Amino acid sequence: MRKPLIAGNWKLHKTLSEAKELAGSLAANLSDVTEVDVVIAPVFTALTSVAEVIQSSPLKLAAQNCYPVETGAFTGEVSPALLKDAGCEYVIIGHSERRQLLDETDHFINLKLIKALEAGLKPILCIGETLQERETDQMLEVLTTQIKGGLANLSATHMAEVVIAYEPVWAIGTGKTASAEQAQEAHSFIRGLLQGLFTKEVALATRILYGGSVKPNNVDGLMAMDDIDGALVGGASLKADDFIRLVRFEK
Ligand code: PEP
């Protein structure tokens, strides 16, 4: 059985005091949640403060990115080991905004994933096609390339710690959600890829989240799908009430 996971990606939002306030509100209102893993990913500068706020709650901390080197002359970068030290359990890797704005490649993303695992972090690997790729029937090819590239050199044992997030780029921050059926089709395809690359057990055990304009009014339909194990949420994770409703999805 795969435990559902709802993750909030706060992106480049929230001052320190706003981040602590939102984390405090979530911690207070989600203290009873045991059947869903709840993860929040504030900006780097808020990580340690938010870690303190949520420390006696079920909420887990994630970083939004990492650099695949432990220490050294890498001005401006943050290593997985330092994120672990700051209280993170998860790290988002390969978000489409980073792929598009910062030209991150599957190879670089794979290096980050390996270093994150070595540091004891659980990577949330983001994949997904653009609108143009979907409309020109390249979706399956793109997902295959991103999965194979992102998960290269990983073992079945590593995969126990890895979470995949399918995020069609055309649905991120646009208000356009993939229908539950479109998302299910992609998730089922991804699970098939995992079976081919690893084992049937790995495919069945790996959590695959959907991301792309998940809101209180569509979360239940998405979560009703067999292969959708949770959500990676941007916009709706910035408001306590909305995010709480997502965590308390109805099946
Ligand atoms: C995201 O940032 O990963 C995301 C899915 O954003 P939104 O929910 O705003 O579409």
Residue 191 pLDDT: 98
Instruction: Report which protein residue has its CA nearest ligand 1's atom 1.
Output: 234
What tens digit of pLDDT does each residue of 27-56 get?
999 999 999 999 999 999 999 999 999 999
Joined tokens for residue 19? 């981040």
Write down the pTM of the prediction.
0.97
Atom of ligand 1 nearest to the CA of 96: 3
Helices (H), the chain: 16-29, 47-54, 80-85, 96-101, 106-118, 131-135, 139-150, 156-159, 180-197, 200-205, 219-223, 240-247
| Ligand 1 pocket: which of 164, 167, 218, 228 to mutate (most atoms within 8 A of CB) | 167
**Helices and strands: H and E segment counts in the chain:** 12, 8
CA of 73 to the centre of ligand 1 (A): 32
What tens digit of pLDDT does each residue of 65-120 get?
999 999 999 999 999 999 999 999 999 999 999 999 999 999 999 999 999 999 99
* Rounded CA separation 74/97 (Å): 22
Determine whether 13 is an active site residue. no
Q: What is the mean pLDDT of residues 163-167?
A: 98
- Residue 8, ligand 1, Cβ within 6 A: no
Alpha-carbon distances of 246 from 3, 4, 201, 236, 242, rounded to whole Å: 15, 11, 28, 8, 6
Of the chain, the percentage scoring pLDDT greater than 90 comes to 98
Sign, CA torsion 229/127/80/23: negative
Per annotation, catalytic residue among 89, 95, 129, 187? 95
Determine whether 107 is an active site residue. no
Model confidence at 251: pLDDT above 90: no
pLDDT tier for residue 1 given thresholds of 50, 70 and 90? confident
Model confidence at 176: pLDDT above 90: no
Domains assigned to the chain: 5-247 (3.20.20.70)
Residue 177 pLDDT: 87
